[in-house]
Amino acid sequence: ELARKELKLGKRPLLEVLAAEVQHIEALNGTLSAMVDFALAQYNLLNLKGQLEI
């Protein structure tokens, strides 16, 4: 958000704004991947303990 404001004010080039947006999206992707991995690990643990019911 800050990068976009600076772009509008002419303080930051478009390439830097786009790079910041890519980094933000990559960070979100990493967070979501970690959440999925955690959920899968929880189900795997339940399965190993014989407590997973389908």
pLDDT in tens, 21-34: 999 999 999 999 99
Mean pLDDT on 23-51: 98
Whether residue 17 lies inside any domain: the answer is yes
Range of 7's domain? 2-48
Distance, CA of 16 to CA of 8 (rounded, Å): 13
Distance, CA of 20 to CA of 14 (rounded, Å): 10
Sequence-distant (6+) residues with CB within 8 A of 21 are 3
Q: How many other CB atoms are found less than 10 A from the CB of residue 30? A: 10
Whether residue 38 lies inside any domain: the answer is yes
| Count of structural domains within the chain | 1
Distance, CA of 8 to CA of 23 (rounded, Å): 20
Whether residue 53 lies inside any domain: the answer is no
pLDDT computed for residue 26 by the predictor? 99
pLDDT computed for residue 7 by the predictor? 86
Better-predicted residue by pLDDT, 28 or 11: 28
Whether residue 54 lies inside any domain: the answer is no
Is the pTM higher than 0.85? The answer reads no
Whether residue 16 lies inside any domain: the answer is yes
pLDDT computed for residue 1 by the predictor? 83
